[in-house]
Amino acid sequence: MSQTLTSLVATYGLLAVVLLMAAESCGLPFPSEVIMPFSGALAAAGHLNLAGAILAGGLGNLAGSLVAYWLAARFGESLLLGPGRWVGIRRSHVELADRWFTRYGLLAVLIGRVLPVIRTYISFPAGLARVRLEPFAVLTFVGALPWCAMLALAGFWLGSNWTRISRPIEAAAVVIAIGVLGALAVWVWRGRSVAEAGAR
């Protein structure tokens, strides 16, 4: 995966950065922890503009986040309350997400953009809760820039040794992802237990 991503960025430059970062923000497994440091390394070698790479990363993140937001807002509830009922998802869960984002949504979007794993999926509950689109877009872009800048600058400073920073970050992201999946599994198991108890 890392070799494929770096090859795409090396070949297509800023366009690849935009598209790959957009794909990541839609939930596809294209880690920014590889894309942005390698973009910075290419900038150090004179093949990309560093500011342009950071901006491209932020714009890609925004574009993908808007797609994820729209998908969740357009299809999310029917999907969750349809097939989702078989894993214990109830309307109360949807209403809880709506209340949570009504109260904390914009702050959650801003902070979530600099957290591995969470930043990739924060747009889905935001779209499900239908937080206001304009502030969502602004805070998504503002929150994405520090993340993109941090990774691109690390790659720029390390040059050809950019993997020294990308690999540890990727490893940390995997650990966090396992924790999130574990919490999700517990949540689904509890939801099914409650659903089965209610059916009795």
Across the chain, what does the average pLDDT equal? 75
The two structure tokens encoding residue 14? 């800023």
Among 15-19, 72-76, 92-96, which stretch is predicted with the lowest mean pLDDT? Answer: 92-96
- Would you put residue 130 in left (φ > 0), alpha (ψ -120 to 50) or beta? left
Reported pTM: 0.69
Nearest to 26 by CA among 143, 127, 167, 95: 127
Residue 74: band (very low, low, confident or very high) from pLDDT cuts 50, 70, 90: confident
Give the model's pLDDT for residue 42: 87
What are the extents of the domains in the chain? 2-199
Query: pLDDT tens digits for 128-137?
Result: 878 889 999 9
Q: 87 or 67: whose pLDDT is higher? A: 67
Q: 139 or 111: whose pLDDT is higher? A: 139
Contacts of 20 (CB under 8 A, 6+ apart): 5, 8, 9, 30, 35, 60
Q: 58 or 124: whose pLDDT is higher? A: 58
Give the model's pLDDT for residue 198: 52
pLDDT exceeds cutoff 70 at 47: yes
Give the model's pLDDT for residue 100: 60
pLDDT exceeds cutoff 70 at 182: no
Give the model's pLDDT for residue 87: 47
